[in-house]
Amino acid sequence: MAPDRTDSFQYLCLEHVREFNRSWNFFEGWSKEAIEAWQHADLSWHRPTWPASAPHHLHRVWTGDGVRDVFGVAGDGTCDPAAARYAAMSATERKARSILDIGPDADVAAIRRRFKKIVKACHPDINGGSGKANGRLRDVIWAYQHLTGSGHD
């Protein structure tokens, strides 16, 4: 039996299977480099692989109700640049922008305006010290600090 014919079978009794296994070497006659290359390829079942980082992952964005094709690969060929920028953001930045309900194109000035508006609405003095409002305020402050680089995360 040869390494390139592992799909062929021999029917042996248990004693002869043990004898055959002691003498058979799959890599017999291979160089060290060839063995290492085969073992490395075996880590991915001898199938091609590529990194999951940009730009390969940018064509899909999770929308909550499914996967959207932002580059139009499967659709009409139109591209949504804002969705592509959103897809390239870290999960933390997406969370911060979600808390402030602000899009991927918002600059620091727009973030500051949105922050001031939300802080006024959920300030404890306006909400009678509500615990829910305090938690919302804490999240809004964290999001603002994260997006503007001010304060500590």
Residue 54 CB partners (closer than 8 Å, separation 6+): 88
Q: How confident is the model at residue 48 (pLDDT cuts 50, 70, 90)?
A: confident
**How far is 129 from 116, CA to CA, in rounded Å?**
19
AA identity, residue 12: L
The pLDDT of residue 153 is above 70:
no
Q: Which domains does the chain have, with CATH numbers?
A: 3-42 (no CATH), 51-88 (no CATH), 92-153 (1.10.287)
Mean pLDDT for the chain overall:
77
Cβ count within 10 A of residue 147: 21
The pLDDT of residue 122 is above 80:
yes
The pLDDT of residue 6 is above 80:
no
Residue 150 is predicted with a pLDDT of: 76
Kindly report the pTM of this predicted structure: 0.46
Per residue in 7-23, pLDDT tens? 777 788 999 889 888 88
Which two three-digit tokens encode residue 57? 């992952």
The pLDDT of residue 47 is above 60:
yes
Per residue in 55-104, pLDDT tens? 544 444 544 455 555 555 555 555 566 677 777 788 888 899 889 988 88
